[in-house]
Structure 1
């Protein structure tokens, strides 16, 4: 009798967990449908823009190399023509970021088209997406080389830095969009194979180059977002050894070393934009759970021996999202008024744990932010394709 009762309780618990994992998926899709279809109308009209469309004379790379300049670096008042100096948290508006904007635009286009295809099944969206995918990854005259060796350069100091790898988080929704669309009749196998080869090459560069290894080992949000984007690319190309390694990294590196006992992120809280960086890092942690979790290795429920978990991180930050006035630290030095928006951690956390308050907060916030800094730090803007 006891064995039967235990089996019944386990069965009920399993049902409840399964229900929680899909609690708000349908509601979120219904809320976002009109917005997605409107974005898709825009995306259907866009011409291709890649890294070859615009260039900077300050780049030491070639025509096909992504180039950007570090955000927080400025001319030195004491030596205006010399190497730049840093001002943490303060963005220099005169630095070259055209390639970053092109990649964000690319992400917006593919995210919108893949979302519309998932909702409607209309292959016109796939056909338009392929035009842009070929421009970035296939066409020899316009493609981007699979590296970020020249990202976030600093005048007079660095041709490129490891921190610049964070710029390619905006390829995540490109990769996920391909996953959504790849079985469509319009997606020919030859182009798909070439595109996947590009991502395979980029994964290799991220894991073997000097800058890639440095970013991988970064102790703050840079390490987390390195793993987040590698996870999304590895999922596209079905690189199971990489996915297995990233699950271990989440459990043995990120949770133990980045999260405090209360669920906060001390390295982010020590920055000049602690609120924005805490949000950014929690989004990345949650997306690792969303991308990497399997029935046999569920990161959503994983706890370190001392009790750290993604649930603890969500419980820590949520009160400050629901009521920003409760934030106990100084306001961020820039963009304080622009956060929060409809953060991915609210939606995916609510969907897994069945937290209605989190979901209601998500849908009450800005679902389509337009601030450039927010968009830059919000790689997941089309959640429908991630369910």
Structure 2
């Protein structure tokens, strides 16, 4: 009975939209989705084995990246790197992250096109990339992040590097969308889910994963977001409930201020970009984990803090960036905002046409590497 009532409520809410929510998003995205999928159909797989960094202590199949804000000391090339918060060092190794982002983009585009058209050619194309990354012993990536966001002279890897695999979220979600197609190879599907189960085990048991889970800012948010996305694919109900509790008991109470802002992000040298990023992650958690028995969208703390308050706080500065009350970010100020998932997911959930219109008018296919790096949900259709 509870599910029937929830469905009736949703139907009543949708009556205030000019057309059903999925159709509204398709109307905006159809052209670009099909164009991007046409590109994706032509792409050959590129995995972590395609390029190796000599500074990595891992092997050919190990993901490797370097901390973005760490730099050499001028005149002392062999000294340990030093931090310049918010300032990206372009000489650091990012090839594996770029390959993963490309993988995410390909699967996200193919799954989106499949959702619109039902055409199995998109499923066939996606399987080539899934096999290369997860089951082909010659090209697969090991299901851990032991060597992510290393720092020369200091760390061979860090828990903070786990944030790099936010770009596997749309891969997992794309598989979730396409898995019931009759042409999806069941052996491959089992292999993909096995990889994600193993990665989830590492994320939840290794000290790096524990450190990242306990991070007090966007890193802790992104740990929950990733685990939720991967656990939904593997049907790990215990982890899904753990993530719901983590959102309600840790993330929202410890990160959001009374006005809906995120003080730990506002304290950074890029407060605008980090606030957008953390809100996107919080909203995506609500999108993934809400169901008939758990509605994180409507959950609020006794003092009224909620995800709606978070969107309401930041939305005016997206619709009118010139009203942002703090100094501009030290880098990439001009590149934000774009068509953030918090706008479209929030608009459909809370029936806010103004939020939807703002999302509709922003850039849906950003190509700046820093923006793409901080925008893990770029194909909203597969998340609805």
- Per the normalisation by structure 1, the TM-score is 0.95
Aligned mates of 1:283, 1:297 — CA distance in 2:
19
Alignment of 1:264-275 (within 5 A): 264-275=261-272
1:277 aligns with 2:270: no
Q: Cα deviations across residues 103-128 of structure 1 (Å, max 9, x unaligned)?
A: 00000000011111111111111011
For 1:234 and 1:73, the matched residues in 2 are separated by 33
- Residue 333 of structure 2 is aligned to residue 336 of structure 1: yes
Alpha-carbon shift at residue 78 of structure 1 (Å): 5.9
Query: Which residue does 2:12 correspond to in 1?
Result: 16
CA contact (8 A) 1:109 1:129 kept: yes
Superposed, which structure 2 residues align to 1:1-150 within 5 Å? 15-17=11-13, 19=15, 24-77=21-74, 79-150=76-147
1:168 to 165, 168, 175: 165
| 1:188-337 paired onto structure 2 within 5 Å | 188-337=185-334
CA distance in 2, matches of 1:306, 1:229: 28
CA distance in 2, matches of 1:273, 1:16: 40
Deviation of 1:74 after TM superposition, in Å, equals: 0.1
1:159 aligns with 2:187: no
- Aligned CA-pair RMSD: 1.6
Tell me the SS of whatever aligns to 2:149. Answer: strand
Per-residue deviation, residues 48-101 of structure 1 (Å, max 9, x unmatched):
100000000000001100000000000012633210000000000000000000
**Structure 2: how far apart are the matches of 1:279 and 1:11?**
31
Secondary structure, in 3 states, of the residue corresponding to 1:228?
A: helix
**Separation in structure 2 between the aligned mates of residue 35 and residue 261 of structure 1, nearest angstrom:** 39
Count of paired positions: 379
* Contact 1:24 1:359 (C-alpha < 8 Å) held by counterparts: no
Partner of 1:4: none
- Distance in 1 separating the partners of 2:71 and 2:227: 31
- The answer to whether the 8 Å contact 2:344/2:355 transfers is yes
Q: What is the deviation of 1:15?
A: 4.7
Q: Kindly provide the CA deviation profile for residues 350-381 of structure 1, in whole angstroms up to 9, marking residues without a partner as x.
A: 00000010000001110111111000000111
Q: 2:163–2:219: 8 Å Cα contact kept in structure 1?
A: yes
What is the CA distance between 1:294 and its match in structure 2?
Answer: 1.1
- Aligned partner of residue 136 in structure 1, secondary structure: helix
CA contact (8 A) 2:14 2:21 kept: no
Q: 1:295-317: CA deviations, max 9, x gaps? A: 11100000011211000001100
**Distance in structure 1 (CA, Å) of the matches to 2:118 and 2:20:** 23
- Answer whether contact 1:73 1:85 (CA < 8 A) is retained: yes
* Residues 360-379 of structure 1: pairs in structure 2 closer than 5 A: 360-379=357-376
Aligned-partner SS, 2:88: coil
1:54 and 1:19 map into 2 onto residues whose CA distance is 51
Structure 2: unaligned runs, 5 residues or longer: none
SS of 2:91's equivalent?
A: coil
Structure 2 length normalisation: TM-score? 0.96
Partners of 2:9 and 2:170 lie apart in 1 by: 33
Give the match's secondary structure for 1:100.
helix
